[in-house]
Amino acid sequence: MFSESSFSPAWWLKNGHVQTMAAKLLRRHHILETSDETLELPDGDFVDLAWTEKVSPACQRPIVAVLHGLEGSKNSHYAKGMLSAIKAKGWVGVLMHFRGCSGRPNRMAKSYHSGQTCDVDFFSQHLASTYPQAKKAIVGFSLGGNVLTRYLAEQKEEIYQAASVICAPLDLSSCCDRINQGFSRIYQKYLVDMLKASTIEKININLLPNINQKDLLNIRSIRDFDQMITAPINGFADANDYYQQASGRDVLNNIATPCLIIHASDDPFLCNKNTTAIKTLPEHINFEISKRGGHVGFINGNNPFKPQYWLEARVPEFFARHL
């Protein structure tokens, strides 16, 4: 079901761009200590996990998994904030880095992408088998949110008692068009530069011998990167085929897990019209739409020197009903 979000932006952060940028700038000195673990994957690759603390298999406290966004990591402002909020609740948080996002390249040419659910599935099975007594929830931000929708729609087992999808590009094609317009191109350049850097790192260790580095450096848009890199190395015909197969919007009705989806109409990364173009949703999926909030911003409070991060209250509040 759709509902209007209760979020009200801070009076000094009304604009979507300001919300988006302030969320990153205001948390740049936030430090979160983690306990790190490497999870070996069935295909010979690996993903790195970041835990808020070490726990034993006998753990009975709730475990909340976190999926980051495009080229994100445990150091992303939203990840540190949510993991800190999870820890403050007395729960255990664990972030799964997508392949190549933990600070070291993965072993294979295959990369993570918006529809790649096999690693999340293996990670989830690992949590279920290793910590069978703990109730579990999962939250995905941006790209990680879209991956989460695809995973939840596919899964047959009830590993998670609740889930939350934050600012996800549920319609990938229109979101690529949106971020290629106006001031949003600043965000696109930032992301594309990071994507090119991580790809060059893989070229240098001979994981992508067929990629021409000069052509790669000439890429200016996410769509062009997906056309040249993401689609071919992950078995898609082209970028459009990738977007069609990987978008999460049209599989939301297949999700059986109680799920909170949060979206801001002024998100400069996402096409609001296409992201919310869903006719009906089951009652256990709550799609909250806010007029303001930007991309993973959602900063409120009356004191500019003490900003509040609404997502870090809203998501745990929703999870608490199910954990």
Active-site pick, 77, 97, 263, 295: 295
Residue count of the chain, please give it. Answer: 323
Round to whole Å and give the CA distance between 217 and 294: 29
Round to whole Å and give the CA distance between 202 and 205: 5
Q: Which amino acid is at 55?
A: V
Q: Collect all residues with Cβ–Cβ distance below 8 Å to 195 and sequence separation of at least 6.
A: 70, 71, 222, 225, 229
Active-site pick, 48, 119, 226, 267: 267
Active site residue 267: yes
Q: Write the DSSP symbol of residue 254.
A: G
Classify burial at 90, counting beta carbons within 10 Å of its beta carbon; exposed 0-12, middle 13-18, buried 19 or more: exposed
User: What tokens were used for 231?
Assistant: 């689609």
Specify whether the CB–CB gap between 296 and 20 falls below 8 A.
yes
Active-site pick, 102, 142, 221, 247: 142
Nearest to 135 by CA among 171, 160, 157, 170: 160
Specify whether the CB–CB gap between 91 and 322 falls below 8 A.
no
Nearest to 166 by CA among 221, 51, 59, 85: 85
Classify burial at 45, counting beta carbons within 10 Å of its beta carbon; exposed 0-12, middle 13-18, buried 19 or more: middle
Q: Collect all residues with Cβ–Cβ distance below 8 Å to 296 and sequence separation of at least 6.
A: 20, 23, 69, 77, 78, 141, 142, 166, 167, 311
Active site residue 241: no
Active site residue 142: yes
Going 288 to 274 to 115 to 190, the CA torsion angle's sign is negative
Indicate the pairing of strand 162-166 with strand 136-141. Answer: parallel
Round to whole Å and give the CA distance between 138 and 79: 12
Round to whole Å and give the CA distance between 190 and 187: 5
Q: Which residues are catalytic?
A: 142, 267, 295
